[in-house]
Structure 1
Amino acid sequence: MFNKTTTFVLFTIYILNLTIAFSDEVSIPAKKSEEAIREEIRWLQAESIITIATRHETSIDKAPSVATVITARQIKQMGFRTLADILKIVPGYDVSMDENGTRNIAVRGGTFRNSERVRVLIDGHPVNDPYWGGAMNNFYDMIVENIKRIEVVRGPGSALFGKNAFFGVINIVTKDTEDIDGFQWTGSGGSFDTQNYNMLFAKEYDDIKISGFFDWIDTEGFSRKVEQDNFSPPSLSMSPGRSQNEREKTDLNLKLSYKNLEIKAKYMKRRREGYIGISGSLTDESDLKDTYWFAELIYKNLSLTDKLNMTPKVYYDRYDFDYFHESRPQGFQAATPVPGFFIPYPNGISGLTALTLNTLGFEDQFDYDLFDGNRLTFGFQYEWLHQHNARSAAFNVDVTNNFFPISPVRDFSRNAPFIRDKATRQIWSLYAQDEWNITDNIDLTVGVRYDHFTRFEGTTNPRVGLVWRFMDDAYMKLLFATAFRAPNFREMFLQNNPLILGNSNLDPEKINTYEFQVGYNFTKHISGSMNFFFNRTRDLIVLVPEPGTGAALKYQNSSGTRIMGSEVEVRAGFGGDNYAYANYTYQDAEDTRDRDRVLLIPQHKANFGVNIGVTKYVNANLHSFVSGRRPREISSTRKDMPSYALVNCALIGKNFMDNFEVRGSVQNLFDKDYDDPSGSVPSNHPQQGRSFMVELRFEF
Structure 2
Amino acid sequence: MNKRYGYNTIFPQVSASAVLLLALSLSTGTALANLDADEASRMTQLLAMDLNELVNMEVSIATGTAKPLKLAPAIATVITAEDIKKMGATTLEEALATVPGLHVSQSNTLGMMIYSIRGLHTTLSSQVLFQINGLPIKYNYTSIVSHDLRIPMTTISRIEVIRGPGSAVHGADAFAGTINIITKKGAEIDGTQTNLRYGSFDTKSGGIQHGGIYNEWDLMTSFDYYKTNGDHDRIIERDLQTTLDTIMGTSASLTPGSTADETEHYDLRLTATKENWSLNLWGSIAENQHVVGVSPVLDTEGYEERSIYQADLAYTNNTLLDNLELDARLSYLYQYSDSFCRIFPPGVLLPVGADGNLLTAPTAGLVLFSDGVFGQPIIEEEQTAVDLSGRYNGIDNHKVRLGAGGRHITEKTDNYKNFGPGVLDPATLLAPPAINVIDGNLTHLTSDSPYIFMNNHSRTIVYASLQDEWSFAKKWELTAGIRYDHYSDFGSTTNPRAALVWETTDTITSKLLYGKAFRPPSFGEFYLINNPVALGNPDLKPETIETYELVFDLQPRKNIHYVFNAFYYQAEDLIELANDPAPAITLSSQNIRNQKGHGFEFEATWQATKNLRLRGNVAHQRAKDKQTGEIVPNAPAWQLYANAHWQFIPDWSLDGQYFLIAERHRAAGDSRAEIKNNDIVNLTLRRTNIAGHWEATLSGRNVFDEDIREPTPSTIANDLPMPGRNIWAELAYRF
Q: Normalising by structure 1, what TM-score? A: 0.91
1:503 and 1:67 map into 2 onto residues whose CA distance is: 35
**Residue-by-residue CA offset, 1:373-410 (whole Å, 9 max, x unaligned):** 3211101011111112x111113776443696435221
Pick one of 528, 541, 554 that aligns with 2:562. Answer: 528
1:406 to 2:414 alignment: no
Secondary structure of residue in 1 paired with 2:63: coil
1:366 to 2:390 alignment: yes
Deviation at residue 115 of structure 1 after TM alignment:
5.3
Deviation at residue 257 of structure 1 after TM alignment:
1.5
1:307 to 2:357 alignment: no
Mean Cα deviation higher: 274-283 or 54-63: 274-283
Deviation at residue 600 of structure 1 after TM alignment:
0.8
1:178 and 1:114 map into 2 onto residues whose CA distance is: 40
Match of 1:697 in 2: 732
Deviation at residue 569 of structure 1 after TM alignment:
0.3
Alignment of 1:222-621 (within 5 A): 222-223=231-232, 224-232=234-242, 233=245, 234-334=250-350, 343-388=367-412, 390-395=413-418, 399-401=423-425, 405-406=437-438, 408-413=441-446, 414-547=448-581, 550-574=584-608, 577-621=611-655
1:61 to 2:70 alignment: yes
Deviation at residue 501 of structure 1 after TM alignment:
1.0
Contact 2:80 2:157 in 1 (8 A): yes
Deviation at residue 135 of structure 1 after TM alignment:
1.3
Mean Cα deviation higher: 364-373 or 577-586: 364-373
Match of 1:195 in 2: 204
* Unaligned runs of at least 5 residues, structure 2: 1-40, 353-358, 430-435
Contact 2:520 2:541 in 1 (8 A): yes
2:395 and 2:641 map into 1 onto residues whose CA distance is: 43
From the superposition, tell whether residues 366 and 38 of structure 1 become closer, same or farther in structure 2 (CA, over 3 Å).
Answer: closer
Deviation at residue 272 of structure 1 after TM alignment:
4.2
From the superposition, tell whether residues 486 and 499 of structure 1 become closer, same or farther in structure 2 (CA, over 3 Å).
Answer: same
Match of 2:11 in 1: none
Match of 1:8 in 2: none
1:598 and 1:451 map into 2 onto residues whose CA distance is: 29
1:499 and 1:523 map into 2 onto residues whose CA distance is: 56
Contact 2:565 2:600 in 1 (8 A): yes
Letter in 2 for 1:361: A
From the superposition, tell whether residues 254 and 43 of structure 1 become closer, same or farther in structure 2 (CA, over 3 Å).
Answer: farther
Contact 2:346 2:373 in 1 (8 A): yes
Deviation at residue 558 of structure 1 after TM alignment:
2.1
Contact 2:370 2:438 in 1 (8 A): no
Match of 1:15 in 2: none
From the superposition, tell whether residues 517 and 136 of structure 1 become closer, same or farther in structure 2 (CA, over 3 Å).
Answer: farther
Contact 1:515 1:534 in 2 (8 A): yes
1:571 and 1:83 map into 2 onto residues whose CA distance is: 22
1:175 and 1:37 map into 2 onto residues whose CA distance is: 14
From the superposition, tell whether residues 430 and 138 of structure 1 become closer, same or farther in structure 2 (CA, over 3 Å).
Answer: farther
Contact 1:265 1:294 in 2 (8 A): yes
Structure 1 vs Structure 2 CA RMSD: 2.3
Contact 1:667 1:691 in 2 (8 A): yes
Letter in 1 for 2:731: L
Match of 2:138 in 1: 128
2:583 and 2:450 map into 1 onto residues whose CA distance is: 16
From the superposition, tell whether residues 376 and 218 of structure 1 become closer, same or farther in structure 2 (CA, over 3 Å).
Answer: same
* Unaligned runs of at least 5 residues, structure 1: 1-32
Letter in 2 for 1:125: L
Question: What count of residue pairs does the alignment treat as equivalent?
Answer: 664
1:684 to 2:719 alignment: yes
Secondary structure of residue in 2 paired with 1:285: coil
From the superposition, tell whether residues 269 and 470 of structure 1 become closer, same or farther in structure 2 (CA, over 3 Å).
Answer: same
1:396 and 1:423 map into 2 onto residues whose CA distance is: 23
2:47 and 2:582 map into 1 onto residues whose CA distance is: 66
Letter in 1 for 2:407: E
Deviation at residue 39 of structure 1 after TM alignment:
4.6
Contact 1:106 1:113 in 2 (8 A): no
From the superposition, tell whether residues 113 and 200 of structure 1 become closer, same or farther in structure 2 (CA, over 3 Å).
Answer: farther
2:51 and 2:278 map into 1 onto residues whose CA distance is: 25
Match of 2:15 in 1: none
**Residue-by-residue CA offset, 1:23-53 (whole Å, 9 max, x unaligned):** xxxxxxxxxx999878523886566321101
Q: Percent identity?
A: 29
2:424 and 2:596 map into 1 onto residues whose CA distance is: 42
2:75 and 2:461 map into 1 onto residues whose CA distance is: 28
Letter in 2 for 1:376: V
Secondary structure of residue in 2 paired with 1:85: helix
Alignment of 1:173-184 (within 5 A): 173-184=182-193
Contact 2:348 2:372 in 1 (8 A): yes
Secondary structure of residue in 1 paired with 2:126: helix
Match of 1:16 in 2: none
From the superposition, tell whether residues 440 and 575 of structure 1 become closer, same or farther in structure 2 (CA, over 3 Å).
Answer: farther
Contact 1:447 1:463 in 2 (8 A): yes
Deviation at residue 547 of structure 1 after TM alignment:
2.3
From the superposition, tell whether residues 124 and 37 of structure 1 become closer, same or farther in structure 2 (CA, over 3 Å).
Answer: closer
Mean Cα deviation higher: 274-283 or 319-328: 274-283
Deviation at residue 601 of structure 1 after TM alignment:
1.0
From the superposition, tell whether residues 104 and 442 of structure 1 become closer, same or farther in structure 2 (CA, over 3 Å).
Answer: same
Deviation at residue 484 of structure 1 after TM alignment:
0.4
From the superposition, tell whether residues 281 and 38 of structure 1 become closer, same or farther in structure 2 (CA, over 3 Å).
Answer: closer
Contact 1:46 1:149 in 2 (8 A): no
2:503 and 2:583 map into 1 onto residues whose CA distance is: 59
Pick one of 161, 169, 181 that aligns with 1:172. Answer: 181
Pick one of 27, 40, 44 that aligns with 2:48. Answer: 40
Pick one of 112, 128, 153 that aligns with 1:118. Answer: 128
Letter in 1 for 2:220: S
From the superposition, tell whether residues 380 and 112 of structure 1 become closer, same or farther in structure 2 (CA, over 3 Å).
Answer: closer
Q: Normalising by structure 2, what TM-score? A: 0.87
Alignment of 1:62-141 (within 5 A): 62-99=71-108, 100-111=110-121, 113=123, 116-139=126-149, 141=150
Match of 2:61 in 1: 52
Match of 1:11 in 2: none
Match of 1:19 in 2: none
1:670 to 2:700 alignment: no
From the superposition, tell whether residues 651 and 415 of structure 1 become closer, same or farther in structure 2 (CA, over 3 Å).
Answer: same
From the superposition, tell whether residues 52 and 405 of structure 1 become closer, same or farther in structure 2 (CA, over 3 Å).
Answer: farther
Secondary structure of residue in 1 paired with 2:189: coil
Letter in 1 for 2:707: D
Match of 1:28 in 2: none
Deviation at residue 203 of structure 1 after TM alignment:
1.8
Deviation at residue 630 of structure 1 after TM alignment:
1.0
Secondary structure of residue in 2 paired with 1:77: helix
1:112 and 1:579 map into 2 onto residues whose CA distance is: 36
Contact 1:46 1:71 in 2 (8 A): no
Contact 1:616 1:655 in 2 (8 A): no
From the superposition, tell whether residues 576 and 114 of structure 1 become closer, same or farther in structure 2 (CA, over 3 Å).
Answer: farther
Deviation at residue 498 of structure 1 after TM alignment:
2.6
Contact 1:229 1:281 in 2 (8 A): yes
